[in-house]
Homo-oligomer: A and B are copies of this chain.
Amino acid sequence: MSKKATRDEIIAAADDLFYRQGFEKTSFADIAGVVNISRGNFYHHFKTKDEILDAVIEKRLADRQAMMEKWEIEGETPEDRIRSFIDILIVNGEKIKRYGCPIGTLTSELAKLNHAAQGEANKLFTVFRTWLKRQFEMLGREDDADELAMHLLARSQGAATLANAYQDDAFIARELESMYAWLSGCAAGANKRERAEM
């Protein structure tokens, strides 16, 4: 098998395992077991566990970027596109109920480990933040686009955390409705709404 193919397999397996078990808990042996290669071969592709983490974060960044580009094409209005972001909670609902948000749980774990890759992992939040900010600007909220983006990020993070704890579909549905309504309010009151009404 070509080097890149094996490498990509390793990254994909690590991505999945880091999500489901966490970074710390996942061992070289776990990943090698999934990919079905020896540890020696493994070492040829990644010298340290941190190198795999970097590659996984890079992959996640690319995946999210691609996702947002798709939303950009498919969504007719900025509101549609932001709704696509909110809908992650539906699309990935089952996984989120089981393992939480892939971004939030990773950044939390790395913060506790005081890991060097914290900054890189935070970029995962930032790509969404930047993209959402742009959408809110297009919605006519140039003045507080970044604030709105952060607020929405926080809302979906909170929903994901509690979805993970309680696996309560009714709760998730209510949070979704609440975010949709909030978004409509954002669109309606472009640059006139008071921040306190967020």
Contact = CB atoms under 8 A, between A and B. Distances in A.
Counting chain B CB atoms within 10 Å of each CB, the highest count among A113, A122, A174 belongs to: A174
Given A125-B166, A166-B125, A181 B161 contact: no
Given A107-B165, A113-B21, A178 B159 contact: no
A20 B155 contact: no
A86 B198 CA distance: 16
A157 B162 CA distance: 8
B195 A177 contact: yes
Q: Copy number of this protein in the oligomer? A: 2
A104 B98 CA distance: 14
Contacts of A24: 22, 24-25
Question: Is the interface on chain A under 10, 10 to 19, 20 to 34, or 35 or more residues?
Answer: 35 or more
Contacts of A147: 171, 174
A168 B154 CA distance: 13
A79 interface: no
A161 B154 contact: yes
A111 interface: yes
Interface in A147-198: 147, 150-151, 153-159, 161-162, 164-166, 168, 171, 174-175, 177-178, 181, 195-198
